Amino acid sequence: MHRFANPARFLRLSTLLLPWSAGATVVLLIVGLYLSLFGSPPDYQQGDTVRIMYIHVPAAWMSLFVYTNMAAAAAAGLVWKHPLADLFAKAAAPIGAGFTLVCLVTGSLWGAPMWGTWWVWDARLTSVLILFFLYLGYMALVNAFDDPQRGTRAGNVLLLVGIVNVPIIKFSVDWWNTLHQPSSVIKMGGPSIDSSMLIPLLVMAGAFTSYFIAVVILRLRTEIAHRKIQTLRFSVAGDGATG
Amino acid sequence: MTKKKRRLYMLGLALLGLGAATALTLTAFQDNIVFFYSPSQLQTQQVGERNFRLGGLVEQGSVRKLTDGVTTEFRVTDTAHTIDVRYRGQLPDLFREGQGVVAEGKLSGGVFVAREVLAKHDENYMPPEVSEALKQAGVYKKPAPNNTDAKTAANAAPTNAPPAATKKE
């Protein structure tokens, strides 16, 4: 893992990965959207409304996946002081917040016709809303300090504290009575979703994942370039003062 | 011990403590996080005059529209106990017999008068043909029981619920 923490090596690797992940996003998104909208059957209970699932569920998975990755990066940043780990968490935060927002909005749009309500304060919905606030809080905190290093440290601590919310979200539907139904895909005894619906769902999840990889690489490269410019400026200004 | 190792252990310890604290808090608030009560829980729980939510399955053959056209009467069951519900208003799309439902309101004279009725859907997704085929093969399970049944039965157990609450699957 330490091998990839070197920014120069990361830049080389990312140049290689970026076109592939961007290409995979386009292909998987086209195939996934076609399958979800035309190539899959309506649900026996919910009819065509079930198609909201193909956006809602991958967005929900990504919101947890991105957060878990950010928390792992935060741990690496705090323990091993890797600059790239700090930058990764910073670069991934807005993407994760975006996924969470998509999950909340599509969930609301799905709940209105099916449950009969846009929003309820049950354990699942509330814990996902907290996840969204964690993302926003992290972004606000990192930028709230004059010294960026202190901001990153505070942000990393917040990310690690917030990790307790991740298992709560995942298991909220099993631990408590909730309006939200239990998991259909990742559960004991195999998925309780027909394969004609599972395949489009997994294709869409693949599209979301490669989208995340492509965008996080772009954002990380921007952050690294930004750091370089700052260091250069700093050294030029320093030279001017001493010389 | 190197500095890095010490930081790693500190971090591990802090996370462990945090996890334990969260687990304890959530256990302490167990009753408050519950979104609804099942009919079995109501046998033991004193709810009085306040508003609460009732959750369970709409009993087969129990839905009746009154002549005024807007009031519906039905029974909510968790297979062990049943409660009569009266509701005036529009029902959600997924409301049907055998499906999960969560109603908010209060008890008055043994009848639960609902202010709002929400439909609960289960974790099973399949095309209509598959559900037809399953029905014909006789392996079709009623929608929703997995969640509502098993969980409410489990929840009711520690509060001295009658042993009648058995899991069907």
Supply the CATH number for residue B123's domain. Answer: 2.40.50.140
Are B43 and B28 part of one and the same domain?
no
Is B127 a member of any domain? yes
Residue B51 within any structural domain of the chain: yes
Domain count, chain B: 2
Helix A148-162 and helix A123-142: axis angle, to 10°? 170
**Residue B81, phi then psi, degrees to nearest 5:** -130, 160
Position B146 scores a pLDDT of 42
For residue A239, is pLDDT > 90? no
CA angle B54, B58, B64 (to 5 degrees): 110
Token pair recorded at residue A56: 């809602």
- Asked if residues A85 and A24 have their Cβ atoms less than 8 Å apart, the reply is no
Query: Does one domain contain both B72 and B132?
Result: yes
| Phi, psi dihedral angles at B80 (to 5 degrees) | -100, -45
Best of B5, B13, B34, B35 to disrupt the A interface by mutation (most A CBs within 10 Å)?
B35
- In the predicted structure, residue A100 carries a pLDDT above the cut 80: yes
pLDDT higher than 80, residue A197:
yes
pLDDT of the residue at A241: 57
Give strand pairing partners of B102: B55, B118
Residue A242 confidence (pLDDT): 54
Kindly report the average pLDDT of chain A as a whole number: 90
Q: Which of B26, B72, B125, B126 to mutate to test the interface with A (most CBs of A within 10 A)?
A: B125
For residue A48, what is the DSSP state?
G
Residues of chain B with pLDDT under 70: 1, 138-169
Q: How confident is the model at residue A170 (pLDDT cuts 50, 70, 90)?
A: very high
Q: Is residue B167 part of a domain?
A: no
Task: Count CB neighbours of A57 within 10 A.
Answer: 22
Lowest pLDDT segment from A7-11, A114-118, A121-125, A178-182: A7-11
Q: Quote ipTM for the complex.
A: 0.75
Name which of B144, B122, B121, B118 is nearest B54 in CA terms: B118
pLDDT tens string B44-80? 777 777 888 888 999 888 888 888 888 899 999 888 8
B143 beta partners: none
Whether B111 is in a domain gets the answer yes
Judge whether B164 lies within some domain: no
Chain B residues closer than 8 Å to A75 by CB: 11
CB contact (8 A) between residue B118 and residue A116:
yes
Of A33-42, A120-129, A204-213, B119-128, the range with the lowest mean pLDDT is B119-128
The torsion angles phi and psi of A117, rounded to 5 degrees, stand at -155, 150
Q: Is B152 within 8 Å of A181 when comparing Cβ atoms?
A: no
Residues B107 and B127 in one domain: yes
- Evaluate whether residue B121 is within a structural domain: yes
CB-closest option in B15, B118, B123 to A183: B123
Q: Which chain B residues are within 8 Å of A44, Cβ to Cβ?
A: 126-128, 130-131
Residues B74 and B16 in one domain: no
Pairing mode, if any, of strands B111-120 and B82-88?
Answer: parallel
Name the more confident of B136 and A26.
A26
Interchain proximity B119–A114, CB inside 8 Å = yes
Count the neighbouring beta carbons within 10 Å of the beta carbon of residue A111: 22
| B168 located within any domain | no
Q: Are residues B29 and B40 in the same domain?
A: no
User: A49-90 pLDDT, tens per residue?
Assistant: 899 999 999 999 999 999 999 999 999 999 988 888 999 999
Q: What is the largest CA-CA distance in chain A?
A: 78
At A58 the pLDDT is 96
The partner residues of A67 in beta bridges, in order of sequence, read none
Q: How far is B121 from chain A (nearest CA, A)?
A: 6
The domain of B98 spans 35-159
Query: Among the listed ranges A5-14, A107-116, A191-200, B134-143, which one has the minimum average pLDDT value?
Result: B134-143
Q: How far is A105 from chain B (nearest CA, A)?
A: 18
More confident residue, B31 or A225: A225
Q: Where are the domains of chain A?
A: 69-184
Most confidently modeled range among A11-15, A19-23, A43-47, B149-153 = A19-23
Question: What digits encode the pLDDT tens for the residues A123-147?
Answer: 999 999 999 999 999 999 999 988 8
Task: Please indicate, yes or no, if residue B125 is contained in any of the structural domains.
Answer: yes
- Return d(Cα B106, Cα B115) in angstroms, integer: 8
